[in-house]
Structure 1
Amino acid sequence: MARAVKNILFVMYDQLRWDYLSCAGHPHLHTPNFDRVAAMGVRFDRAYVQSTICGSSRMSYYTGRYAQSHGAEWNGFPLRVGEKTLGDHLRAVGMDCYLIGKTHMRADEEGMQRLGVDPDSIIGVRASECGFDPWVRDDGMVPEGPDGSYDGRVSPYNEWLKEKGYPGPNPWSHYANSGIKDGQIAPAWILENADLQANIREEDSETPWLTDRALEFMDQQPGPWCAHLSYIKPHWPYIAPAPYHDMFGANQVPAPTRDARELDNDHPVYSRFARSPIGKSFQDDEARAKVIQAYMGLIKQCDDQLGRVLDRLEQTGAIEHTMVVLTSDHGDYLGDHWMGEKMFMHEQSVRVPMIVYDPREAADATRGTVSEALVEAIDLAPTFVEAAGGAPEFHWLEGRSLAPLLHGAAPSSWRDAVISEYNYAATPLAGVLGLSDEDARIFMVFDGRWKLIHFEGGIRPMLFDLQSDPDEFEDLGARADHAAEIERMYGHLNAWGRRQSQQVTVSKEKLDGMRGSSARRGILLGVARAADADPELFSKYVGPAQADYTKE
């Protein structure tokens, strides 16, 4: 009997770079379980997210829509009520959709109140949880400062640590994400502490805890299901439990990908990113080395925990009908280009790992291959709908199904360029530059060779030729001899900007059915003489008059 997709395991890691896997060529970090999925399926080597900030990127994954379309362009921006999500699309074709871990989604509480949606109802919960039915939601961030906590949500993981006996009000902070130095708490927020052993038993740390929840889910749910297993790591705070904290030495830390020419670049936006406190902290080579050793250890732990999940799928036979997808919401600069964090458009930030195992026989020919197609994060939603047996609603979904690429078929057409966006209106940088909220935005368009980064507010673009300059050191955006390339890339961006993205309540099929339908419903326009039109269209308007009021 032909194999079919019964379940979808959609695994996302937070802040995982595309090149920090052994199947992607990392020289020191061995990730046999990521490689295991790559050998079973297709590794998409040129996959790009639609935004380089957690919340916005994730909302694009979950809606299958660009950030400009769904509107949740920064962490904490609510996803408006009525925005259709992956769960809505899948439930319509008979597949339940569950959350295990992080979404970074903020509910549109004002919109729910305006529409009278009870937050405790099934609809209300799904509207609050990005369309998922939450098995367990934990966004993995429980920091506290003088003005209170960052998130305000109760962390199930933090509560679980308390039940396990870890003392204090915030064991997430004091144990899972801190070490000990001279008997004192050494918080991982300070980068020089990243090489310490996290003060927590490894089996109680965040990644194994969430893996346990996933295994419980798989043991209890018969399917069909889509499970979004969404890990917080290797996202900061950078610190790993034993034995992962010292698995990698300073001699295994890659040299930073950066060039003195970049610091000479007077571009007003890039130069401020590079000279920000975050950028400067990663220009400290000793601190950077400690961070990367911890980052690699966290990835190694993620790989080991992935192995537990894959083993369970194989032991139960579910691997024969479960699509497995591994990806990330964005990358991490780690000192490359003189920066830390992820909020810009170099490959280290905007390019992500994406590995897809499709159990269907149609995918047998592509197993263990690498695709060079330009892929976007929004392509996963229509891929999942198609795998579940549905027809993707492309008046809602802006991505493209990966099924042809997974099944070795050449698509009749594929995209010429990928797009990513970054809205920094909520950051101090917007104020430093004196930009309005509308102008504090960045757009990237990449065609596989040329990368244009456009800045609103009258700021000149940046341009990179990744064929001759794969490290993106030489900004050609101010060069007159590249005006033609800049214009051509703006053509891609402008075509994208003119796309039809908000006509979501009318499908193409409905639109096709509307053409000319009004004439058959009595709207007869442009008829000078009766003989000019089909007599059938007049059938309700002709015949003997039953009364004559003109003679009264």
Structure 2
Amino acid sequence: MKNVLFIMCDQLRFDYLGCAGHPTLQTPNIDKLAARGVRFDKAYVQSPICGPSRMSFYTGRYVRSHGSTWNKFPLRVGEMTLGDHLSKLDVRTVLCGKTHMAADTEGMKRLGINPNSAIGVHISECGFEVWDRLDGLHPDGAQEPSHYNDYLRGLDYGGPNPWEQWANSAQGEKDDEILSGWLMSHADKPARIEEEDSETPYTTSRAIEFMEQSKDKSWCLHLSYIKPHWPYIVPAPYHDMYDKDDVIPVLRDEVEREDPHPLLEAYHQHRFSKVFCRDDVRERVIPAYMGLIKQIDDQIGRLMSYLEESGQLDETLIVFTSDHGDYLGDHWLGEKELFHEQSVKIPLIIVDPSKDADQSRGSVSDALIESIDLAPTFVDFFGGYVPDHILEGKSLLPHIRQNTAVERDFVISEYDYSSRLARSLLKKSVKDCRLTMVYDGRYKLIHVEGYRPMLYDLNEDPQEFHDLGASAEHAGIRENLLSHLFDWARQHHNRVTISDDEIDKRAGMEFFRGIQIGFWDQEEVNQAHKEGRGGN
């Protein structure tokens, strides 16, 4: 029986893993996955922020196709998701953790769909069967029902919001003093919660519960951790495993602030960018970030031990990835959202249990990969037909099993900054805050609506310090990348109700239904019938 374990971290940088070359962060369990599978070194998300990125993972479609362009912008009713594609193959598609899904309640209301009905719940949960949804970020006491908060209350973690007051806060010197994990000054302190009750072990335990109870039918389990996303605070013993000596040097240069692109200059004014420009902040936050990753790695070890002991390891395709990265002060920026490698590039490891994949085990691929490639990979793994008029990615199984090249000349990523301070600083309308990245493996161009593009040469400038967007010498490069972008934009993105094959079959068939257009006389009609061809 085939299964898929689809593991996603939140805000995990591609280079914060041992197997990716981090000098001090040891991730032996994730490294073992890389040794058993393929690590893709050039994998990119379709949007460098949680919501749109995840909607592309779940639909297998670009952001311009599914329309959910920022966090909590609803995924419209009718968009097919993993659950829709895999249910046809008799596979359960199950969530344990985060999705950042926002339901299209207006769309359901317009169509008369009861949100509490089976189809309404399916739509509201992005096509997942919810085992345990934990999106995190409940500073007001959990706006959405939280099984995790109920779990903590059952363990006598008191207060109106145990998620914040225990899992994401530290203990002050006084018994009644709680130090909020939202404040970066507390990142070096242990979270108040016992480690085994914190978010990452909890989500792992719930995932194991599902797998233990679900051996009678194939499944795709989306195990979606909410860390190492902020708040940057981690329970003991992970809070002090790393210190400022483990913080790798910041990647930024004063040249980036000398006549910067207007959008980059605006992002430098964001609070989260200004705070990460401080060395003392990085020295306090990044060790906690590393501790959160180390905790995830230990939980990956738990998962693999369970799969092996339960006899499911050799029948389960395992994917390990992230929804985007984290600047952590690089390029004078915090958070994510723009298109430097630290933000848009992700870790991606795929372990295929098939014997056909033995030839690629332990390899590192430099093929250009997009996050939308996972949905068709899963359909392919379960033996299904990949509907390429809907799923815009490419199955990676031929690459893994037969070393077939991934046919892609460039990758695309999109972002909508209309919800950010940058829009006000630049005095832009909501509809004009669109960014699109096109990257061909060497040159990365960012098209900025209303401004000149940005351009980076990652061969000559791998740190992406020097913006060539106004360089006369690189005008031809910009023109070539813009032509790639134009080619991509002209593709079919919304014809999802009929496939290319069906169109091909229908071509000319109106003639055989008696619609005889363009004929002079009956003799021509008879001849067309005799030759078995349509009249178009």
- Provide the TM-score with structure 2 as the length reference: 0.97
Name the SS for the 1:533 alignment partner.
helix
1:535 deviates by: 5.0
Which position in structure 2 is the counterpart of 1:315?
Answer: 309
Match of 1:75 among 56, 71, 75: 71
Amino acid at match of 1:441: R
1:138 deviates by: 1.2
Structure 1, 159-168 or 229-238: larger mean CA deviation = 159-168
Which position in structure 1 is the counterpart of 2:126?
Answer: 130
Moved over 4 A (4+): 535-538
Match of 2:103 among 98, 101, 107: 107
1:182 deviates by: 2.8
Amino acid at match of 1:121: S
1:309 deviates by: 0.6
Match of 1:455 among 435, 448, 461: 448
Which position in structure 1 is the counterpart of 2:168?
Answer: 177
* 8 Å CA contact 2:325, 2:346 repeated in 1: yes
Distance 2:477 2:310 in 1: 54
Which position in structure 1 is the counterpart of 2:238?
Answer: 244
Q: How does 1:126-275 map to 2 (within 5 A)?
A: 126-144=122-140, 152-183=143-174, 184-222=177-215, 223-275=217-269
Distance 2:4 2:86 in 1: 11
Distance 1:180 1:340 in 2: 26
Listed one character per residue, the Cα deviations across residues 386-429 of structure 1 (whole Å, up to 9, x for unaligned) are 00110111110000000111113323x61100000001112232
Amino acid at match of 1:463: L
Which position in structure 2 is the counterpart of 1:541?
Answer: none
Task: Give the RMSD, CA atoms, in angstroms.
Answer: 1.4
Listed one character per residue, the Cα deviations across residues 424-477 of structure 1 (whole Å, up to 9, x for unaligned) are 112232122111222101110110000001101x21111000000000000110
Match of 1:491 among 471, 474, 483: 483
Name the SS for the 2:523 alignment partner.
helix
Distance 1:274 1:301 in 2: 31
Q: How does 1:142-541 map to 2 (within 5 A)?
A: 142-144=138-140, 152-183=143-174, 184-222=177-215, 223-411=217-405, 414-456=407-449, 458-535=450-527, 537=529
Q: Work out the percentage of aligned pairs sharing the same amino acid.
A: 53
* 8 Å CA contact 1:142, 1:155 repeated in 2: no
Distance 2:489 2:39 in 1: 29
- Whichever of the two has the greater Rg, that structure is 1
Aligned residues: 528
Which position in structure 1 is the counterpart of 2:534?
Answer: none
Listed one character per residue, the Cα deviations across residues 282-335 of structure 1 (whole Å, up to 9, x for unaligned) are 011111111100000000000000111111101111011000000000000000
Distance 2:30 2:526 in 1: 65
- Residue ranges of structure 2 left out of the alignment (5+ in a row): 531-536
Amino acid at match of 1:403: L
Q: How does 1:21-100 map to 2 (within 5 A)?
A: 21-100=17-96
1:167 deviates by: 1.0
Amino acid at match of 1:446: Y
* 8 Å CA contact 2:4, 2:220 repeated in 1: yes
Listed one character per residue, the Cα deviations across residues 7-51 of structure 1 (whole Å, up to 9, x for unaligned) are 000000000000000000110001011111111110001000000
Name the SS for the 1:509 alignment partner.
helix
Amino acid at match of 1:113: K
Name the SS for the 1:404 alignment partner.
helix
- Residue ranges of structure 1 left out of the alignment (5+ in a row): 539-552
- Provide the TM-score with structure 1 as the length reference: 0.94
Listed one character per residue, the Cα deviations across residues 355-377 of structure 1 (whole Å, up to 9, x for unaligned) are 00000111010011010000000
